[in-house]
Amino acid sequence: MAAWVSAAAAFLLLFLLQPPGGGGLSSSASQGLRRPPAKIGVIGAGIGGTSAAYFLRQKFGRDVQIDVFEKGEVGGRLATLNVEGKYYEAGGTIIHPLNLHMKHFVKELGLSVSAIQDGLRGFYSGEELVFEESGWYIWNFLKLLWHYGLNALRMYLWEEEILDKFMRIYRYQSHDYAFSTSEALLHALGGSDFLQRLNQTMDESMQRAGFSQKFINEIVTPVMRYNYGQGASINGFVGVVALTGTDPGLWSIEGGNKRACSGLLEASKAQLTPGTVLSVEGKTRQEGRSGGAVKFYEVMYNSATGLTSDSYDIIVIATPLHPKIANIAFHNIKPSIPGFSRPYEPIVTTFIHGQINASLFGYKDPSQFTLSDVFTMENPNAFFYSLSVVSPVQNTTDPFLGSHVWKAFSAESLTKEQLTLLFASYDAVEEKKWLAYPHYSPPEKCPPVILHDHMYYLNSIECVASAMEMSAISAKNVALLAYHRWYNKVDMIDQEDLHERLKTEL
């Protein structure tokens, strides 16, 4: 009797557990009524757009057509610059050892990584070096203690605790859970503490956690300036992301980070459409004998062959919607899409092949100057954010003899006077200008991820933090969100207590 009951129960269970569309009667409600999308349009072929194409392919299968529009170079803010015949990362450079999507791409695409050398760092006030590392680990530790008490050690633990929570995203995403806003995503990782970070400056957030103002001004602020061209007034979440940019074990992709983008495009079997998207228009057509109205989007773009348009069921916008970056008009979209006024930070990357002016940093003997990074405090004299010795993206073990190639970040182009102050001598100078990342000024209100029924804004995530991995995380989120919304799987969106629930699930 008992055996019969359990056998029947098992059978029933098996029947109920049939995946939708997998046969039986179960396929009607959720998925069966919805046709798969025929075409998906992705605007932008940076790491966001190309990884979106990759994840969209994974979710929607091989039959959907995916077109990726790009007005410039594949890679976007991942780009290299030629300095005396070698190529250097001019945009997004460092990848953290715990950036799991980027790691996965490298493996999946058969690319290689190159480690970013851990050099010695100095912190410059605009007048003098207020702190500098030395090659001897114990001595560094004692010096940090002497200058800043336990601040440095505590910061490491503090950062690690936040990073630990952040890592939850990979588990949620591997279980296919999606979030409808950037705030909901952040909340699922670290609750109201994480959300609060968007409304506080890094300075406030660290003061509340008990860090000294001296430590924040002399160490934290220069790291913020190096990574985001802004001081500790940036929000307390992106601030922590910036801190992780000084962790050990950082890496880049050999041959250039942008190789991930071309690799992802190829792996996704998406079609690259060179051209500038001018507008997206909401449209409706009648379909089938029943005459049901089907909504779609018409994308108008300028390409080598002139003005063209194409229709899509789903649109992913994978570029900042900033009038100077992507001036895309939206027509017949209700409710209408708000204008996004968030300013982007102008950053100039300059490569200088030369001998640094060691005396500027208090060294009489240039051969004693062994720092490979100089980060600057907020000071009118500090007209640059940072100076770092860099290696080319290829043949990294073949350094220039004697002098180095330095990479400077600054708000404006470095003048000849500034260059001759910073360098005792130099030959090559190359620069690249960016609208690099958002200007952060908490409290932050993130732009929507869902712009319309089936139109998504991947770069909403940049209000939380702008980084390659953040774009990849947002790309996967948008692919999952687009999928669940297409097939009405509302139970996969914005679920509460995921962390607790997934603890017991395997």
Ligand X SMILES: *[C@@H]1O[C@H](CO)[C@@H](O)[C@H](O)[C@H]1NC(C)=O
Ligand Y SMILES: Cc1cc2nc3c(=O)[nH]c(=O)nc-3n(C[C@H](O)[C@H](O)[C@H](O)COP(=O)(O)OP(=O)(O)OC[C@H]3O[C@@H](n4cnc5c(N)ncnc54)[C@H](O)[C@@H]3O)c2cc1C
CB of 12 to ligand X, least distance (A): 45
CB of 189 to ligand Y, least distance (A): 18
In angstroms, give the least distance from the CB of 138 to ligand Y. 29
Dmax over CA atoms of the chain, in Å, equals 93
Min dist CB 261 to ligand Y, Å, is 8
The interface partner of residue 78, options being ligand Y, ligand X, none and the CB cut-off 5 to 8 Å by kind, is ligand Y
Nearer to ligand X, 48 or 190 (CB): 190
Are 362 and 371 a contacting pair, CB within 8 Å?
no
Of 393, 409, 428, the closest CA to residue 87 belongs to 393
Determine which residue in the list 32, 210, 338, 443 makes contact with ligand X, applying CB under 6 A. 443
Binder of residue 196, out of ligand Y, ligand X, none (CB less than 5 to 8 A by kind): ligand X
Instruction: Tell me the closest approach of the beta carbon of residue 46 to ligand X, in angstroms.
Output: 23
CA distance 185 to 177: 10
With the C-alpha atoms ordered 134, 135, 138, 141, is the resulting torsion angle positive or negative?
positive
* Residue 192 vs 305, nearer CB to ligand X: 192
Query: Which CB atom, from 43 or from 315, has the smaller least distance to ligand Y?
Result: 43
Out of ligand X, ligand Y, none, what residue 79 binds, judged by CB under 5 to 8 A for its kind, is none
Piece in contact with ligand X (CB under 6 A), picked from 43-51, 155-163, 189-197, 294-302: 189-197
Residue for token pair 């300059």: 350
Stretch that binds ligand X, among 305-313, 356-364, 458-466, 496-504 (CB under 6 A): 356-364
201 binds, among ligand X, ligand Y, none (CB under 5 to 8 A by kind): none
Q: Which of 46, 447 has the CB closer to ligand Y?
A: 46
At residue 409's C-alpha, the angle toward residues 408 and 414, to 5°, is: 70
Taking the least distance from each CB to ligand Y, the nearer of 262 and 418 is 262
Listed ranges 55-63, 155-163, 301-309, 417-425: which one lies at the site for ligand X (CB under 6 A): 417-425
- Counting contacts by CB under 6 A, is residue 394 touching ligand X? yes
- Identified binder of ligand X from the candidate list 112, 359, 379, 441, rule CB under 6 A: 359
Which residues of this chain interact with ligand Y, rule CB under 6 A?
43-49, 69-72, 76-78, 91-94, 276-277, 318-319, 325-326, 328, 347, 349, 434, 436-437, 459, 466-469, 471
**Secondary structure element (H or E) that encloses residue 14, with its range:** helix 2-17
CB-nearer residue toward ligand Y: 37 or 91? 91
DSSP assignment of 467-490, as one string?
Answer: SHHHHHHHHHHHHHHHHHHHTT-G
Round to whole Å and give the CA distance between 136 and 141.
Answer: 9
Residue 46 CB contacts under 8 Å (≥ 6 apart), including other chains: 75, 76, 77, 78, 261, 318, 319, 471
Residue 280 phi, psi (nearest 5): -125, 130
Q: Which does 115 bind (CB under 5 to 8 A by kind): ligand X, ligand Y, none?
A: none
CA distance 169 to 323: 31
- Which among ligand Y, ligand X, none contacts residue 358 (Cβ within 5 to 8 A by kind)? none
Share in percent of the chain as helix, strand, coil (round to 5): 35, 25, 35
Cα(94)–Cα(99) distance, integer angstroms: 10
Give the one residue of 100, 113, 195, 435 binding ligand X; rule: CB under 6 A.
195
Binding window for ligand X (CB under 6 A); candidates: 44-52, 239-247, 416-424, 486-494: 416-424
From 136-144, 168-176, 343-351, 420-428, span contacting ligand X (CB under 6 A): 420-428
Q: Decide whether 309 or 359 has the Cβ nearer to ligand X.
A: 359
Q: Is residue 199 within the footprint of ligand X (CB under 6 A)?
A: yes
One of 173, 205, 357, 372 touching ligand X (CB under 6 A): 357
Give residue number: closest CB to ligand X. Answer: 443
Q: For the chain, report the end-to-end CA distance as a whole number of angstroms.
A: 32
Q: How far apart are CA 290 and CA 277, in angstroms?
A: 34
Contact call for residue 424 and ligand X (CB under 6 A): yes
Which residues contact residue 66 at a Cβ distance below 8 angstroms, ignoring those fewer than 6 apart?
39, 40, 42, 53, 56, 57, 268, 269, 270, 271
CA distance 172 to 80: 34
Amino acid at 122: G
CB of 229 to ligand Y, least distance (A): 8
Residue with tokens 């060691």: 358
The only residue of 6, 309, 332, 395 in contact with ligand X, by rule CB under 6 A? 395
Residues 6+ apart with CB under 8 A from 13: none
Residue 302 or 395 with smaller CB distance to ligand X:
395
d(CA 215, CA 293): 62
Q: Indicate the pairing of strand 276-287 with strand 329-331.
A: parallel
Q: How far is the CB of 248 from ligand Y (least distance, A)?
A: 15
Interface positions with ligand X (CB under 6 A): 86, 192, 195-196, 199, 357, 359-360, 394-395, 420-421, 424, 443, 445
